[in-house]
Amino acid sequence: MHELSIVASLFEIMEEKAQEKGSKRIIYVKLQVGKLSGVVPEFLISAFDMYKKDTIAHDAELEIEDVPLTIQCKTCKKTMILDDFVFICVDCGSRDLKTLTGKELFLEKMELEL
């Protein structure tokens, strides 16, 4: 479960940013997680809940925004959202595709109590 190591790194970043702002408490965290990020949101939530105990984020709410897999066909230029991982253009059948979204894994927002 690599989500635990991701959460450990996330907490390092969050605690550093909170310290820079002079905050002693993190109350809200929002992450963007793409379908191709390799992260299972449910495992990420569990890891976050386990890790936050006895930290400055002990009461923090975690929100995860799922980022869909969006591709663009390089042949016909059609942009589409894929629900599965079949990388074929639904219009022209080309496999020459560009991934536009879906690889994201980043901290979008963090609210602090000052």
* Statement: residue 88 has pLDDT above 80: yes
CATH architecture, domain 3-113 = 2-Layer Sandwich (3.30)
Mean pLDDT, the chain, rounded, equals 95
* Statement: residue 89 has pLDDT above 90: yes
> pLDDT tens-digit profile of 69-87?
999 999 999 999 998 889 9
Structural contact between residues 12 and 50, judged by C-beta atoms closer than 8 angstroms: no
Average confidence (pLDDT) over 23-52: 96
**pTM of the predicted structure, to 2 decimals:** 0.87
* Statement: residue 37 has pLDDT above 80: yes
Residue 1 — very low, low, confident or very high, per pLDDT cuts 50/70/90? low
Average confidence (pLDDT) over 1-26: 93
